Amino acid sequence: MLSRQLERNYCLNREHRRHSQIPLRSAIILWVYSGCSGSDSDREHFGKTNQENSNLTLEERMSIIGRTRGLVVLLAVFIVGGFNFQAFQNPLLGYALGAEKDRYLAKGKYDGPYFPTKGWRECRPEAVGLKSGKVQQAIAYAATPAFNTDGLVIIRKGYIAGEAYFGDFKIDSVHVSHSMAKSVTSTLIGIAIDKGIIRDLDERICQFLPAWDCNNKKDFRSRITIRHAMTLTSGLEWKEDWSTWDPATNDALTMAQSGRYLNYMSQRKGLYEPGTHFYYSTGDPMLLSPVIQKATGMTALEFAQKHLFTPLNINRGNWNRDRDGYTITSASLFATVRDYAKFGYLFLNKGRWEDKQIVSSEWVEKATRTDRSVKGWAAYGYLWHVNLPYRLTFTGSSYAKGSIPSDGFMAEGVRGQTIVIIPSKDMVIVRVANETKEKMDLTKFLTMVLSAVEN
């Protein structure tokens, strides 16, 4: 069984899903009788904690339907002649019942450029060149119950145009990042290099990890550099299969079970010359935790709080550490949807925030493109997924990638976590979820969002 920490990190909210199976007929009758409209107090009854994920819950469906006379009519039809309750699985049902059509669309006007340090501004989609109907359709697709979307936000020109939260997950709820944290770790390395704390990417990991002997030339590990950890080309023994959550075929799960992430990585054998083989490894970025800690005198979380999170006013959430006190720089970051969007917006603005350069524009450019000095993957930069049209060919989507701009890049985590940045469209798109058996087609979703762009 997974450890408690791992189960928490991966947001396995079985209890909430059990509550979601309340018979629809009984719940609807109770809802109409009591006049309930899906209030926060009701959600607290069904949910567990804000950090846990959930499916699209029953009262979220009820909230979509709203307090309408149409429901009373439907109930009467049900009593007289029966009713097909499978229709309630469709998030667009609210439209047919006369619910507010722009439920997930922002209001307000565009007031010019700004930075969302004190909070995000919102405006009508048309005010930032987006078609409301298309935005709504994209959100409705992501809201498909089987996809277990918890929250999402669509931002253009610095303004929220569309935003949605489902079940007991709310605007101030924090969500696990999974591997999106890798891109944050990459940024911390960039900041440290900008400040001269770390010399460059070619510093060897063994200088920061006493378990490895820098003088043992026969050991491949003595030549693993920061660059290799950033491009997932360390050459260390590793297997990572997410088709099933089985530690027998997934070192990431075994590492998490151990609770001693860095210790687990230090025991991996070097199989290949560093820089010659790419394979996706959640372990490689963990090697950067001691690098940051030893170089800066702070944990990665402390360094992030001082030089990244505080300037952006990201003050909710947490970043877990292993049993030995090392920040888990490969995963396990928790933040709100809007705060993840701030991180994306930083990169949309080439590392600048307000009047300060948080991380150099040169680093942003390097991190979001491939490094040809290693034999890596053409869809991977420095812990960022890059060359987005090409990257999306590996998702199994049948959707054409032609509408996806080539300058797009993203931070991505297992089970549906994404921060997508598209500079040419001035857009940041964030989604968090708890995908299990059925996954949202990310290419389709992004295509739908991009189809909303008018100018």
Is the pLDDT assigned to residue 28 strictly greater than 60? Answer: no
Residue matched to tokens 């053409």 = 378
Lowest mean pLDDT across 18-32, 62-76, 424-438: 18-32
How far, in Å, are 100, 145, 431 from residue 89 at the CA level? Answer: 18, 7, 20
Q: Left if phi > 0, otherwise alpha if psi is -120 to 50, otherwise beta: which for 333?
A: beta
Boundary-marking domain end, from 101, 120, 138: 101
Alpha-carbon distance 69 to 276, whole Å? 65
> Based on the structure, what is the number of domains in the chain?
2
Would you say 54 and 166 are in contact if contact means Cβ atoms under 8 Å apart? yes
Identify residue 254 by its one-letter amino acid code: T
The answer to whether residue 390 is domain-embedded is yes
The answer to whether residue 131 is domain-embedded is no
Examine the domain organization and report whether 40 and 182 are in the same domain: no
Structure tokens at 301: 């979380």
The answer to whether residue 74 is domain-embedded is yes
Structure tokens at 59: 């009262």
Q: What is the mean pLDDT of residues 122-128?
A: 98
Alpha-carbon distance 326 to 89, whole Å? 43
**Nearest to 54, CA basis, from 21, 83, 100, 12:** 12
Coil/strand/helix, residue 105: strand
Examine the domain organization and report whether 328 and 213 are in the same domain: yes
Examine the domain organization and report whether 215 and 327 are in the same domain: yes
Would you say 238 and 251 are in contact if contact means Cβ atoms under 8 Å apart? yes
**Nearest to 210, CA basis, from 272, 269, 262, 283:** 262
Examine the domain organization and report whether 204 and 92 are in the same domain: no
Examine the domain organization and report whether 85 and 184 are in the same domain: no
Examine the domain organization and report whether 66 and 180 are in the same domain: no
Q: How confident is the model at residue 101 (pLDDT cuts 50, 70, 90)?
A: low
Alpha helices in 55-97 (DSSP H): 58-65, 69-81, 93-96
Q: What is the mean pLDDT of residues 39-66?
A: 38
**Nearest to 395, CA basis, from 418, 373, 374:** 418
The answer to whether residue 159 is domain-embedded is no
The answer to whether residue 122 is domain-embedded is no
The answer to whether residue 19 is domain-embedded is yes
Examine the domain organization and report whether 241 and 361 are in the same domain: yes
Is the pLDDT assigned to residue 220 strictly greater than 90? Answer: yes
Q: What is the mean pLDDT of residues 71-79?
A: 44
Alpha-carbon distance 342 to 430, whole Å? 10
Could you read off the pLDDT of 371-387 as tens digits, one per residue?
999 999 999 999 999 99
**pLDDT at residue 297 in the model:** 98
Q: Is 309 exposed, middle or buried (0-12, 13-18, 19+ CB in 10 A)?
A: buried
Boundary-marking domain end, from 101, 132, 148: 101
| Count of Cβ atoms closer than 10 Å to residue 243 Cβ | 7
End-to-end CA distance of the chain: 51
Q: How confident is the model at residue 50 (pLDDT cuts 50, 70, 90)?
A: very low
Alpha-carbon distance 29 to 277, whole Å? 60
Q: In the chain, count of helices (H) and strands (E)?
A: 19, 11
Examine the domain organization and report whether 77 and 181 are in the same domain: no
Lowest mean pLDDT across 20-29, 221-230, 358-367: 20-29
Cα within 13 Å of Cα(281), Cβ side? 26
Determine the structural domain holding residue 358 and report its residue range. 175-450
Identify residue 86 by its one-letter amino acid code: Q
Examine the domain organization and report whether 206 and 68 are in the same domain: no
The answer to whether residue 373 is domain-embedded is yes
**pLDDT at residue 100 in the model:** 52
Q: How confident is the model at residue 436 (pLDDT cuts 50, 70, 90)?
A: very high
Could you read off the pLDDT of 259-301 as tens digits, one per residue?
999 999 999 999 999 999 999 999 999 999 999 999 999 999 9
Identify residue 363 by its one-letter amino acid code: W
Residue matched to tokens 């390097």 = 366
CA angle, 6 then 8 then 14, to 5°? 110
The answer to whether residue 169 is domain-embedded is no
How far, in Å, are 215, 296, 371 from residue 222 at the CA level? Answer: 7, 22, 21
pTM for this prediction: 0.81
Q: What is the DSSP string of 196-254?
A: TSS--TT-BGGGT-TTS-TT-TTSGGGG-BHHHHHHT---B---B--SS--GGGBHHHH
Examine the domain organization and report whether 97 and 218 are in the same domain: no
**Nearest to 454, CA basis, from 45, 116, 133, 40:** 133
Alpha-carbon distance 388 to 192, whole Å? 27
Examine the domain organization and report whether 272 and 368 are in the same domain: yes
| Count of Cβ atoms closer than 10 Å to residue 108 Cβ | 12
Is the pLDDT assigned to residue 32 strictly greater than 50? Answer: no
CATH number at residue 340: 3.40.710.10
Would you say 323 and 329 are in contact if contact means Cβ atoms under 8 Å apart? no
Alpha-carbon distance 208 to 290, whole Å? 6
Examine the domain organization and report whether 75 and 224 are in the same domain: no
Alpha-carbon distance 87 to 376, whole Å? 47
Is the pLDDT assigned to residue 367 strictly greater than 70? Answer: yes
Alpha-carbon distance 154 to 453, whole Å? 12
Give every CB contact of residue 131 below 8 A, 6+ residues apart in sequence: 125, 451, 452, 454
Boundary-marking domain end, from 101, 133, 159: 101
Cα-based torsion angle of the residue sequence 289, 293, 296, 300 in order, rounded to the nearest 10 degrees: 60
Structure tokens at 147: 């996809």
Coil/strand/helix, residue 160: strand
Would you say 160 and 106 are in contact if contact means Cβ atoms under 8 Å apart? yes
